[in-house]
């Protein structure tokens, strides 16, 4: 019966145009929940609590706990059509500050990438504030070098947005990609297909190591740095929110904690 439920879930998520990544995550969460709760047809909040508590004991993050709870709520509400409300609150998410790279460190990273195409990929990810999934999905036609914009299609939440294209990179992009078809992936693999996110992350981590930077930075640190540096340059936070594609301004406001000049000017009494 559980496999039938999973098929129903997958079908419903696909009809509603959930992203493949979200569909896979929900299916994985529900498969684990069904393995734990053999009587999943009956909504029992205590069972759900016990299941989530087990995940907490296994050191699952608050974000992961909330993913499980979202999947379980979707199952009962949309698949079994249970009218009973699940009165469980989402786990409080930790407010860790993101790892940032200075402008100098980004220059060092770019200086340690010998492959011109790979260097442009990392430069564009920083200069336009892109996620790794967005950079590998870009096609040549998504760039408007006349208007200095990048059209991100079906990004997180299946939403399109426009962000800035760094004008400094225009000559290099014209030289490398000018004669290619608009429908070709911008940063294609050696075989001509889409570059994997893992490969893009490996390119970044290798350059980070070669640059001698010991911060626990990831590819996503480029996006964090883009946002922070824009705020430092005096760009209004609402524009930064739009460029990043954040639904809620509170998500963008975390970067204001990293750009407070008054805080940085305070000298320790030691």
- Identify the domain containing residue 180 by its residue range: 103-261
Residue 63: what pLDDT?
A: 87
Q: For this structure, is 246 an active site residue? A: yes
Decide: 129 and 163 in contact? Cβ < 8 Å. yes
Structure tokens at 234: 């005096």
Residues 155 and 220 in one domain: yes
Task: Identify whether 95 is part of a domain.
Answer: no
pLDDT on residue 205: 96
Has residue 268 been placed in a domain?
no
Whether residues 126 and 68 fall in one domain = no
Predicted local confidence at residue 59, as pLDDT: 87
pLDDT at site 194: 85
Active-site residue, 220 included: yes
Distance of CA 235 to the CA centre of its chain: 22
Q: Look up 156 and say whether it is catalytic.
A: yes
Residues in CB range of 160: below 8 A, 6 or more apart: 151, 152, 153, 154
Determine the Cα–Cα distance for residues 47 and 24; give it in Å rounded to an integer: 23
Residue 92: phi and psi, rounded to 5, are -70, 125
Alpha carbon distance 230, 241 (integer Å): 11
Whether 45 is in a domain gets the answer yes
The catalytically annotated residue of 118, 223, 224, 229 is 223
Q: Is 14 among the domain residues?
A: yes
Residue 190 belongs to some domain of the structure: yes
- Is 224 part of the annotated catalytic residue set? no
Lookup: tokens for 71 = 């999947």
pTM of the model: 0.75
State residue 126's pLDDT score: 96
Tell me the per-residue pLDDT of 187-231, one tens digit each, with 9 for 90 and over.
888 777 789 999 999 999 999 999 999 999 999 999 999 999 999
Measured CA to CA, the distance from residue 34 to residue 253 in angstroms comes to 38
Question: What total of structural domains would you count in the chain?
Answer: 2
Nearest in space to 97 (alpha carbons), one of 253, 270, 266 = 253
- State the pLDDT at residue 94: 65
Instruction: Answer for the pair 113, 219: CB distance below 8 angstroms, yes or no.
Output: no
Q: pLDDT (tens digit, 9 = 90+) per residue, 6-22?
A: 999 999 999 998 888 88
Q: Per-residue confidence of the chain (270 residues) as pLDDT tens digits?
A: 788 989 999 999 999 988 888 899 999 999 999 999 888 888 899 999 999 999 989 988 888 999 999 999 999 999 999 988 888 887 776 677 889 999 999 999 999 999 999 999 999 999 999 999 999 999 988 999 999 999 998 777 778 899 999 999 999 988 887 667 777 888 888 777 789 999 999 999 999 999 999 999 999 999 999 999 999 999 999 999 999 988 888 888 888 877 766 666 677 677
Q: Provide the angle, in degrees to the nearest 10, between the axes of the packed helices 45-57 and 20-36.
A: 110
Residues 57 and 173 in one domain: no
Residue 92, in any domain of the structure: no
Question: What whole-number distance in Å separates Cα of residue 74 and Cα of residue 240?
Answer: 32
Q: Is residue 166 in some structural domain? A: yes
CATH number at residue 17: 1.10.150.130
Does residue 133 share a domain with residue 57? no
Residues 154 and 237 in one domain: yes
Which one from 156, 161, 180, 194 is the annotated catalytic residue? 156
Of 23, 131, 139, 224, catalytic: 131
192 and 236 fall within a common domain: yes
User: Are 138 and 67 part of one and the same domain?
Assistant: no
Q: Is residue 39 part of a domain?
A: yes
DSSP state at residue 193: S
Do the Cβ atoms of 65 and 29 come closer than 8 Å?
A: no
Q: In 3-state terms, what secondary structure has residue 2?
A: helix
Question: What is residue 120's predicted lDDT score, i.e. its pLDDT?
Answer: 95
Query: In the prediction, which pLDDT does 122 show?
Result: 97
């Amino acid at each position: 019966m559980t496999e039938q439920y999973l098929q129903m879930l997958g079908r419903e998520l696909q009809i509603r145009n959930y992203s493949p990544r979200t569909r896979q995550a929900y299916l994985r969460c529900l498969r684990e929940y069904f393995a734990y709760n053999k009587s999943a047809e009956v909504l029992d909040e205590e069972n759900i609590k016990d299941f989530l508590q087990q995940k907490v004991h296994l050191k699952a993050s608050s974000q992961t706990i909330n993913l499980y709870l979202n999947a379980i709520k979707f199952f009962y509400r949309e698949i079994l059509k249970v009218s009973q409300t699940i009165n469980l609150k989402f786990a409080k998410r930790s407010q860790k500050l993101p790892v940032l790279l200075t402008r100098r460190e980004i220059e060092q990273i770019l200086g340690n990438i010998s492959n011109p195409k790979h260097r442009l990929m990392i430069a564009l990810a920083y200069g336009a504030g892109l996620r790794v999934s967005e950079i590998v999905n870009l096609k040549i036609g998504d760039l408007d070098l006349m208007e200095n914009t990048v059209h991100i299609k079906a990004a997180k939440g299946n939403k399109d947005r426009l962000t800035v294209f760094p004008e400094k990179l225009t000559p290099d992009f014209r030289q490398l990609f000018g004669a290619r078809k608009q429908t070709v992936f911008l940063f294609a693999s050696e075989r001509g297909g889409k570059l994997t996110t893992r490969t893009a992350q490996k390119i970044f981590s290798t350059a980070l190591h070669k640059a001698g930077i010991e911060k626990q930075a990831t590819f996503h640190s480029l996006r964090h740095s883009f946002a922070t540096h824009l705020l430092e340059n005096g760009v209004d936070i609402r524009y930064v929110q739009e460029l990043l594609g954040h639904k809620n301004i509170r998500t963008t406001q975390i970067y204001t904690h990293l750009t407070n000049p008054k805080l940085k000017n305070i000298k320790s009494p030691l």
